[in-house]
Chains A and B, each alone.
Chain A
Amino acid sequence: MPLIEVENIHKEYEDGKTTVHALRGIDLTIDAGEFTAIAGPSGSGKTTLLNLISGLDAVSAGNITLDSVDISSASARKLSQLRLEKIGFVFQAYNLVPVLTARENVEFTMLLQGVPSGERRKRSLDMLERVGLGEYADRKPTAMSGGQQQRVAVARAIVTHPRVVLADEPTANLDSETGSRLLDLMKRLNAEEDMTFVFSTHDPMVMDYSTRLVRLHDGKVKSDERK
């Protein structure tokens, strides 16, 4: 069943006096449980596509539906709610809140959802155990390695059981061994939780791990292959 439906979307933005066509008519359907990599060279539109799917940016034309919600016409408030309830984010630069410990970072989205503190604490500690960081629960991001921070970011993204995890170049700042361990983790979660993952990447290792590879070039889908 389609979780994400992208219909003929275009994205243009002004860069000085020139108009940049970031996306030129993308059609894409991603089913629940897929482990999809969107690959392509810099400027191909990978991150733009992820931003549009998550409602962080608005389409110039076309429609996007996520779990039956029309993102293209949703209000800012509704988009916030959508991201909070249905989307988990993993960023290239981890983007943990620096003043919070690993556990508190994982708790953060649950705090926004209004989950009671006792339950938040339990779920966040469980999740940190699951990503192998149980003993790092009280550490702040600055006292953790890049790989550890990214695993905390993954824990933060999945602790609320979102419908989809959008990961923007999640391994770009990691060495290959750490990146591989992170992908193992996400693959396991994909299998165990039937959680949908969509990556933007130009890392061949991520492409190898993915079960579906969508290649973009100049804002268009160049190829789309399921393994």
Chain B
Amino acid sequence: MDIVRIAWRNIGRNKRRSVLTALAVAFACTVLVFSMALQRGSYADMIRNTVHAHTGNLQVQRTGYWPDRDIARKLTGSAAMLNIIDHTEHVVAAAPRVNGAALVSYGHRTFGAALFGTDPEREKGVSTLADVITEGSYLDKTDVNGALVGYVLAKNLGAEVGDEIVFLGQGADGSIAASTLIIKGLIKRGVAEMDRTAVFAHIETIQEAFSLYGGISEIAVLLDDDKYRPETVRQLESALRDSGHDDAAVLGWPAIMPGIEQSIKLDWSSGIIIYSVLVLVVGFGIANTFLMAFMERIHEFGVLKALGMRPAGICVMVYVESLLLTAIGILAGTVTGSLIVLRFQHTGIDFGYSDEMMAEYGLDPIIHPQLSTLVLAWAVGIVLVIAMLVAIYPAVKAATLKPVEALRHR
């Protein structure tokens, strides 16, 4: 028999109240585990979509190309670099690209466009370009004038598959970059900006039009898992430097798209605040039951004091009771929340009703909640901290009761 066992038995005094309190804690914990897992899952989906859509897990660029993306800052010797990259551990595929900006015209209509010169075969391995064609077909290896156009851009231009479009831009040497392209297919990336501006064509065509003479803007690299990104970046930096490509820089996706990482951090931080406030509301309910349990036992605390129990001992006993009850609720809530997350972790949850809104942010309408140590630690941490805070008052109150007044209390 010790203080913890006495505290445990005290929990069983009013079973209905204890069960309700534990359920309130469990409910808060379940909601937190599920919501946080959904949030983390949406981030993972967003990163995966972004990486697979275009960017790749990392890119090799010329030092200083990012963030201005000056087409004149080109990489040369791409064949040798691709050979090194292809033989690097965890690399699934790599594709060279040229990125240019131009005005694209069809008939009387002209719109600004982002031109991407790419190797059709290699691009298939790196991005989902070949999978997002809604009309027409993918770029043919031999048809160097073929182009894939964002479906919104094509609609704005009034062009269709088979139509000839003209682009006009500025080459790397300041000359005029102009050429014609035949629309081979329309693409729908689900990223509004891409669908509105993207034109993909053969890398040789774009290199020639923009006077790049074999130079490229970047090599997009896809890895078997993003968790290997930091070590692959280090390996590639070292390998490229050793092979004489001193002007090559290796950038992970967070460096190329810092906005995504920042928005994830911001969203996560604001989520934590909202969850804390929600749990605080539940905490007031829990505090009420803790306080009721204290009020019922004031006389008993007087007896314990008369028997010689120190104020600190009473404080610890009451506090341990609250924490045990909280621990039961947290355990039940964590298990329930985890089971719900595991149920949807692979199938995902379809938020199809907000398809367009999610497309704006590069999100898939199907979100896969993701259970992780981080999620469990935060969910348990928030509930535990708030429960510990609300349990302080009755514990201190019990400890500071005047014995004679407590004994008179009925």
Which A residues contact B (CB, under 8 angstroms)?
51, 54, 56-57, 76-77, 80-85, 87, 89, 91, 95, 97-100, 104, 107-109, 111-113, 117, 120, 156
Among listed B5-13, B229-237, B346-354, interface-contacting one:
B5-13
Alpha-carbon distance A54/B311, docked complex (angstroms)? 16
Tell whether, in the assembled complex, residue A111 and residue B1 are in contact, meaning their CB atoms are under 8 Å apart. yes
Are the C-beta atoms of A97 and B300 separated by less than 8 Å? yes
Contact B307 A51, beta carbon cutoff 8 Å: no
Question: Does B306 count as interface, using CB distance less than 8 angstroms?
Answer: yes
The yes or no answer to B403 lying at the interface (CB within 8 A) is: yes
Partner pick for A95 among B1, B303, B310, CB 8 A cutoff: B303
Cα A83 to Cα B304 with chains together (Å): 11
What CA separation (Å) do A97 and B309 show in the bound complex? 13
Residues from chain A with Cβ under 8 Å of B303 in the complex: 89, 91, 95, 97
Chain B residues near A108: list those with CB within 8 A. 1, 307
The residue on A at minimum CB distance from B314 is: A80
Are B404 and A80 within 8 A (Cβ)? no
Q: How far is the CB of A77 from chain B (nearest CB, A)?
A: 6
Can you list 30 A-B contacts (CB < 8 A)?
A51-B407, A54-B306, A56-B305, A56-B306, A57-B404, A76-B311, A80-B305, A80-B308, A80-B310, A81-B310, A85-B308, A89-B303, A89-B307, A91-B303, A97-B300, A98-B13, A99-B6, A99-B13, A100-B6, A100-B9, A104-B1, A107-B1, A109-B307, A109-B308, A111-B2, A112-B307, A112-B313, A117-B1, A120-B1, A156-B307
| B residues 305-336 in Cβ contact with A at 8 Å | 305-311, 313
Contact residues on B (Cβ < 8 Å of other chain), bracket: 20 to 34
CA A12 – CA B6 in complex, angstroms? 37
B308, B311, B407: which contacts A84 (Cβ < 8 A)? B308
Which B residues have a C-beta under 8 Å from some C-beta of A?
1-2, 6, 9-10, 12-13, 299-300, 303-311, 313, 402-404, 407
On whether A56 and B1 interact (CB within 8 A), knowing A81-B308, A99-B10, the answer reads no
Q: How far is the CB of B304 from chain A (nearest CB, A)?
A: 8
* Chain B residues whose C-beta falls within 8 Å of the C-beta of A91 in the assembled complex: 303, 306
Q: Say what secondary structure dominates the interface of chain A.
A: helix
User: For B403, what are the chain A residues with a Cβ–Cβ distance below 8 Å?
Assistant: 56-57
**A85 partner residues in chain B, CB cutoff 8 A:** 308
- Could you say which of A56, A77, A87 contacts B404, with CB atoms under 8 Å apart? A56
Residue ID in chain B nearest A157 by CB atoms: B307
Residue of chain A at shortest CB distance from B9: A99
- Bound-complex Cα distance A80 to B309 (A): 6
B307 near A83: Cβ-Cβ < 8 Å? yes
Residue of B nearest to A110 (CB): B1
Closest to A81 in B: B308
B402 contact set on A, CB distance < 8 A:
57
Q: Which of B2, B13, B306 makes the CB contact (< 8 A) with A89?
A: B306
Residue pair A97, B306 in contact (C-beta under 8 Å): no
Complex Cα spacing A98 to B300, Å: 9
In angstroms, Cα B75 to Cα A149, docked, is 92
Q: Which residues of A contact B2 (CB under 8 A)?
A: 111
Note all chain A residues with C-beta closer than 8 A to B311. Answer: 76-77, 80
| Alpha-carbon distance A56/B402, docked complex (angstroms) | 8
Neighbouring A residues of B13 by C-beta, 8 Å: 98-99
Give A117's nearest chain B residue, CB to CB. B1
What are the residues of chain A within 8 A of B407 when measuring CB–CB? 51, 56
A100 pairs with B307, CB closer than 8 A: no
**Nearest-Cβ distance from residue B314 to partner chain A, whole angstroms:** 10
Residue of A nearest to B407 (CB): A56
Q: What's the least CB distance linking A224 to chain B, in Å? A: 25
Complex formed: what's the CA distance from A117 to B3 in Å?
13
C-alpha gap A77/B299 in the complex (Å): 19
- Are A83 and B9 neighbours in the complex by a CB distance under 8 Å? no
A99 to chain B, nearest CB (A): 4
A3–B10 Cα distance when bound, in Å, is 37
Whether A112 contacts B309 by the Cβ 8 Å rule is yes
**Residue from B10, B305, B313, B407 with most neighbouring chain A CB atoms (10 Å):** B407
Residues of A within 8 A of B307 (CB): 83-84, 89, 108-109, 112, 156
CA distance A89 to B407 in the complex (A): 12
A91 to B403, CA, bound (A): 14
In angstroms, Cα B171 to Cα A193, docked, is 109
CB distance from B344 to the nearest CB of A (A): 42
CB of A56, distance to nearest CB on chain B (Å):
4
**B9 / chain A contacts, CB cutoff of 8 Å:** 99-100
- Taking the nearest CB of chain A, how far is it from the CB of B339, in angstroms? 33
Other CB < 8 Å A-B pairs besides A98-B13, A100-B9, A112-B308, 14 of them? A51-B404, A54-B306, A56-B404, A56-B407, A57-B404, A77-B310, A83-B305, A97-B300, A99-B10, A99-B12, A99-B13, A108-B1, A109-B307, A111-B2
- Closest 8 interchain pairs by CB? A84-B308, A99-B9, A57-B404, A83-B308, A95-B303, A56-B403, A56-B404, A80-B310
Task: List chain A residues, Cβ under 8 A from B6.
Answer: 97, 99-100
CA distance A35 to B313 in the complex (A): 32
Closest to A98 in B: B13
How many Å lie between the Cα of A80 and that of B302 in the bound state?
12
Residue of A nearest to B312 (CB): A77
| Chain B residues with CB below 8 A from A120, complex form | 1
| B308: A residues at CB distance < 8 A | 80-85, 87, 109, 112-113
Q: How far is the CB of B248 from chain A (nearest CB, A)?
A: 71
Q: Are A83 and B306 in contact (CB under 8 A)?
A: yes
A100 touches B1 (CB 8 A): yes
A109–B6 CA distance with the chains assembled, in angstroms: 13
